[in-house]
């Protein structure tokens, strides 16, 4: 009778372990995902801030245009990506008419004026490890950070309108 009871207790412990392990794994992956999301969000903020500050002083050099004075590293996109240590997509508002061909390194390109607000958004994508959170938030998760500056203004950020 005593041997049978010990085996039953061992079986109950094994069932409890089998129920708890998936929950602990999900909890662990959730903590890792939370840390990754926080890190990428902070890197996006740094990237957007660096791109915005460079674009404020070089408003005609927003994108990489090969074989021009806007080729890497002389553009806001490269500066932001390099400072943020990641793969980001940048949007600028206002932007030049065609970011793939327009490069105007003159002090103030046409259509832009000193003191005009410039809005820069850095966007990154994070693939989550936790399936449940990924199903709720969408996988990959899109994270973005927005920074606003004044063109040709002091090197500081301003509130976004």
45-96 confidence digits (pLDDT tens): 999 999 999 988 888 889 888 888 888 999 999 999 999 887 899 999 888 6
Domain ranges of the chain: 37-158
Backbone angles phi, psi at 77, to 5 degrees: -60, -45
Mean pLDDT on 10-16? 82
CA 92/CA 117 separation, integer angstroms: 11
Nearest to 56 by CA among 159, 157, 160, 161: 157
Crossing angle of the two packed helices 2-57 and 76-84, in degrees rounded to 10: 150
Give the per-residue pLDDT at 101. Answer: 67
Rounded to the nearest angstrom, the gap between the alpha carbon of residue 99 and the centroid of all alpha carbons in its chain is 21
CA 24/CA 33 separation, integer angstroms: 14
Backbone angles phi, psi at 153, to 5 degrees: -95, -175
Where does the pLDDT of residue 140 fall: very low under 50, low under 70, confident under 90, or very high at 90 and above?
confident
Residue 121: CA count within 13 A, CB half-sphere: 10
Give the per-residue pLDDT at 8. Answer: 66
> From the CA atom positions of the chain, what is the Rg in Å?
25
19-43 confidence digits (pLDDT tens): 899 889 888 888 888 898 899 999 9
């Amino acid at each position: 009778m005593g041997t049978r009871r010990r085996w039953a207790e061992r079986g109950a412990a094994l069932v409890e372990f089998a129920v708890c392990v998936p929950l602990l794994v999900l909890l662990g992956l959730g903590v890792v995902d939370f840390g990754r999301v926080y890190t990428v969000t902070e890197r996006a903020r740094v990237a957007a801030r660096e791109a915005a500050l460079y674009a404020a002083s070089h408003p005609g050099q927003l994108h990489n245009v090969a074989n021009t004075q806007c080729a890497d590293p002389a553009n806001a996109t490269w500066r932001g990506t390099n400072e943020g240590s990641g793969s980001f997509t940048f949007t600028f508002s206002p932007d030049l008419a065609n970011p793939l061909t327009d490069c105007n390194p003159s002090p103030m390109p046409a259509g832009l004026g000193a003191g005009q607000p410039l809005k820069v958004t850095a966007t990154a994508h994070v693939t989550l490890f936790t399936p449940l959170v990924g199903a709720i938030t969408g996988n990959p998760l899109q994270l973005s950070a927005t920074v606003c500056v004044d063109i040709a203004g002091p090197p500081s950020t301003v509130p976004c309108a």
